Amino acid sequence: MQAQKTSSESLARYRLKKLLDMLKSKGGRGTQLISLYIPPGRRISDVIAMLRQEYGTAANIKSDTTRKNVQDAIVRVMQRLKLFKETPENGLVIFCGAIPRSGPGTERLETYVVIPPEPINVYLYRCDSRFYVEPLEELLKEKEAYGIIVMDAESATYAILRGRRLEIVKHITSGVPGKHHKGGQSARRFQRLREMKLLNYFARVGKHANEIFLKVPDLKGIIIAGPGPTKYDFAERDYLDYRLKQKVVAILDTAYTEEFGVREVVEKAPEIIAKVRYVEEKKLMQKFLYHIGHDTGLAVYGESEVRRCLKMGAVDTLLISEGLDLIRVVIRCSSCGYEEARLLKAREVPKLESSLPYRPCPKCGQTTLRVESKEELVEDLARLAEEMGTRVEIISTATEEGQMLKETFGGVAGILRFAPSF
């Protein structure tokens, strides 16, 4: 269950990021690109009524071209909306506008309908010279929570970091005296008492941590920080509940304690959070490499092998490199039905397309080859995987293992449920 969730997550994020990059690259002439955000629960008929009003308002636009483009776009958006009986459960986002192909007068109306991977709680209509993608970009930010404990021998501060939102939850003081005694009692007795008080304080630090962090949903990790060695003494003992201890992802040095110390941790957090995902990616890749190394027959790689196993439903986990930028082009002969698939870099596609009319079909010899379909290999494989209930993981090239996936294994690999017999 947990695995299934992460799988669609890395794929959904990858897809959304690609889409947003594409939308950001589009610019209109003047303010004529429409962005429409509809939150879950909003009635489609209400939205259409609002758009009718916007259509009326747009009649006041002075420039003939801009007015026409905006009104055309509004009409197109309304047409698209009518295809929905109701707003999808995560809401709906539509981008529409006239995008210039090259010079002036080459604008063409483009429409993008996005169903967000998570609920989008914004109701907004905007007409601008660019598409407004920020609310969707917010969804790409990390949502998982991290617990932070900043401590030294004097105090401990607890905080929860979720996305960019930081909440300082609690602060306790230790009551432990400083390291050096000022006389009166023997040095040994002083040290023994101090040690006891310190352990007592550790127990309190752990007790509060358990109370605070065990009930945080989606807690991804715990970061322990602070100046000096006290945090290590605490971390290596068993004062934290074992479920939390398993989640300690970093122990950091900070210059300060209390809120300033927490702020220091937050500054370093993006790096730590990225590392947590890298560890997940490394583990997945190591599992694949284990099967390769031990020749268990439960690992495959390379586009054609993986595709074959996917179609058989034999793949448990599909590993796709983020660095895989190949387009799968299917060529078909309209005379004899001959078909072949090619993997090309995006920039090589136009060259192939323009050469096709001159190339005789290898089967019938006619010059009737056409591009039947072209799709990014990632999307093509991911769709196949989803149909077969295969978990999909997009693996970055940030780790050594991720580099290996890209360079050594052709960017596509699979861990199998069973060894297929071909």
Binding site for Zn ion (CB under 5 A): 333, 335-336, 338, 361, 363-364
Cβ closer to Zn ion: 279 or 364? Answer: 364
Q: Tokens for 414, please give them.
A: 């699979």
Cβ closer to Zn ion: 24 or 363? Answer: 363
Contact in structure between 13 and 91 (CB atoms under 8 Å) = no
Closest approach, Cβ 359 to Zn ion, in A, equals: 11
Cβ closer to Zn ion: 363 or 383? Answer: 363
Cβ closer to Zn ion: 71 or 368? Answer: 368
Closest approach, Cβ 353 to Zn ion, in A, equals: 17
Phi then psi for residue 113, to 5 deg, are -105, 125
Cβ closer to Zn ion: 55 or 338? Answer: 338
324 Cβ contact list (under 8 Å, min separation 6): 377, 378, 406, 411, 412
Closest approach, Cβ 332 to Zn ion, in A, equals: 9
User: What is the length of the chain?
Assistant: 422
Closest approach, Cβ 334 to Zn ion, in A, equals: 8
Amino acid (1-letter code) at residue 115:
I
Contact in structure between 195 and 201 (CB atoms under 8 Å) = no
Cβ closer to Zn ion: 196 or 364? Answer: 364
Cβ closer to Zn ion: 121 or 334? Answer: 334
Closest approach, Cβ 364 to Zn ion, in A, equals: 3
Per DSSP, the three-state class of 311 is helix
Closest approach, Cβ 370 to Zn ion, in A, equals: 10
DSSP for 42-62, written as a single string? --HHHHHHHHHHHHHHHTT-S
390 Cβ contact list (under 8 Å, min separation 6): 310, 313, 315, 316, 317, 318, 384, 414
Q: Tokens for 329, please give them.
A: 């082009």
What letters, b where the CB count within 10 A reaches 16 and e where it falls short, cover 105-126? eebeebebebebbeebeeeebe
Cβ closer to Zn ion: 192 or 359? Answer: 359
Cβ closer to Zn ion: 309 or 333? Answer: 333
Closest CA to 321 of 411, 398, 388, 403: 411
Contact in structure between 139 and 120 (CB atoms under 8 Å) = yes
Cβ closer to Zn ion: 186 or 366? Answer: 366
Query: Using the 8-state DSSP alphabet, how is residue 174 labeled?
Result: -
DSSP for 207-269, written as a single string? HHHHHHHTT-TTEEEEEEEESSSHHHHHHHTT-S-HHHHTTEEEEEE-S--HHHHHHHHHHHH
Amino acid (1-letter code) at residue 350:
P
Q: Distance between CA 319 and CA 285 in Å, rounded?
A: 8
Write down the residue that tokens 């006891």 correspond to.
196
